[in-house]
Amino acid sequence: MRLEGDFQWFQSKRKGGRWSIRFQLRCTRWWREEAFRYAIFDGTGQLEPYRSFLELPANNAVNIDYDTCSWDWCQGDTFAVLNEKDEIVEHWTLSLHTYAPGECPECHGTKQCQKCQGTGQIKSQNHMISTCPDCLGTGTCVCCYVPIRKIIGNTTGTTLTNDNTLASANHPAMDMSRQRKIDALHKQIFDLQAKIQQCEWDERMMQMRNLDVSAHSVYMAKLQLKMKYHQQLINLQHELQQLEGM
């Protein structure tokens, strides 16, 4: 595959011109197109993977974002190129730099846009009020903002179990060992999600306290651990997808 991908900020039309993330994929071949199937995996494992097919002409790029396919990119989400056997051959994961509390060079931890002081609006000399050109009206610091998908309680676990029951009911001939594997995967995924929630809770707690420098490395270690869990979760989700699709 001759593909190059990267994540960029852009102004989403569907979000009324707000900043949003897009994934841009380019075919670097100059004589032939690349045709392949792909999937987008939610870093938190809550959403169903988005699956589709792409035919990318030589030397051409395509944007995959909220405006083009309704996928709202969040930290930890992965774009994966699949082969005929549904295996991942290449992937890109959104991993934006995360600042520790107080570390952001722009807002120093307030998370407020410096140009408009978090109001989203600026007043010009002739007292005209207009939308802040930096944050585009959100009032959020654009330097340290990272889109994170919210984890909704334990409902994910329940939904997964329900889906699982439905799947078994629809396929009575499904062999038991495979069913056991699927059950085990659901359990592992559920446990991982709980671990991620715990990490996020710890993070929030650390953010609430004023961290000194010695605690900083602990915070970064926590973030790294969470990213590791996210990656494991993506792999498990993929494995489950393959098993259930058999």
- Which of 115, 181, 186, 195 lies at the binding interface for Zn ion (CB under 5 A)? 115
**Shortest separation between residue 87's beta carbon and Zn ion, angstroms:** 39
Of 76 and 101, which has the nearer Cβ to Zn ion? 101
3-state secondary structure of 99: coil
Q: How far is the CB of 220 from Zn ion (least distance, A)?
A: 17
**Is 135 an interacting residue with respect to Zn ion (CB under 5 A)?**
yes
Q: Which of 3, 25, 81, 132 binds Zn ion (CB under 5 A)?
A: 132
Listed residue (11, 8, 24) closest to 135, CA to CA = 11
How many angstroms separate the CA atoms of 208 and 199, rounded?
A: 14
Whose Cβ is closer to Zn ion: residue 135's or residue 192's? 135
Establish if 107 lies at the interface with Zn ion (CB under 5 A). Answer: yes
Relative orientation angle of helices 155-170 and 176-208, to the nearest 10 degrees? 170
Kindly provide the residue ranges of all beta strands, DSSP E only, lying in 96-218, ordered along the sequence.
121-123, 129-131
Q: Which stretch binds Zn ion (CB under 5 A): 22-30, 45-53, 96-104, 207-215?
A: 96-104
91 binds Zn ion (CB under 5 A): no
Nearer to Zn ion, 110 or 179 (CB): 110
Distance, CA of 188 to CA of 86 (rounded, Å):
21
42 binds Zn ion (CB under 5 A): no
Binding to Zn ion (CB under 5 A) within 136-165 occurs at: 141, 143-144
The amino acid at 101: P
| CA dihedral (240, 241, 244, 246) positive or negative | negative
Could you give the CA distance from residue 194 to residue 236 in angstroms, rounded to a whole number? 14
Residue 100 in the binding site for Zn ion (CB under 5 A): no
Q: CA 161, 228, 201 angle in degrees (round to 5)?
A: 70
The one segment of 30-38, 81-89, 102-110, 160-168 that binds Zn ion by CB under 5 A: 102-110
Distance separating alpha carbons of residues 105 and 155, to the nearest angstrom:
38
Choose, by CB under 5 A, the member of 104, 160, 196, 233 that binds Zn ion. 104
Q: Is 27 in the site for Zn ion (CB under 5 A)?
A: no
Q: How far is the CB of 223 from Zn ion (least distance, A)?
A: 16
96 binds Zn ion (CB under 5 A): no
CA distances from 136 to 13, 18, 121, 131, 163 (A): 12, 6, 8, 6, 40
Which residues of this protein are in contact with Zn ion, per CB under 5 A? 104, 106-107, 113, 115-116, 132, 134-135, 141, 143-144
